[in-house]
Amino acid sequence: MLLIMGTVRLPVGGLDRARAAMEKMVTGSRAEDGCFTYAYGQDVLDPTLIHVVERWRDRDALKAHGQSAHMAEWRAAGAALGLHDRDLKLYDADDGTPL
């Protein structure tokens, strides 16, 4: 299993402008074969900071995600929305242990 975790930033007040594009990206990604988790969350203490969490079955699923139409649209929208300071990391992981 692959995990992608990290953060991106939006300008102050930018979440309202970005919400529709983010919803389209999350919905499209969650519908993809091999996507187990795809989520964005606004930080409680810093409203410009968006946490990103993704869980993918394997590299083939992640590669297909990178070539999807909704990913291309999201990349194009990012600049217009002022998305910046992208800091995402890819991790290889097992299925985890419930706590």
All domains of the chain, ordered by start, with CATH? 2-91 (3.30.70.100)
What rounded mean pLDDT belongs to the chain?
Answer: 96
Of 16, 93, 96, 2, the C-alpha closest to 50 is 16
The predicted structure's pLDDT at residue 37: 98
Q: Is the distance from CB of 4 to CB of 66 less than 8 angstroms?
A: no
Q: Is the distance from CB of 73 to CB of 81 less than 8 angstroms?
A: no
The predicted structure's pLDDT at residue 5: 98
Helix or strand or coil: residue 30?
A: helix
The predicted structure's pLDDT at residue 30: 98
Pure H helices in the chain: 14-30, 59-66, 69-81
In the chain, which stretches have pLDDT less than 50? Answer: none
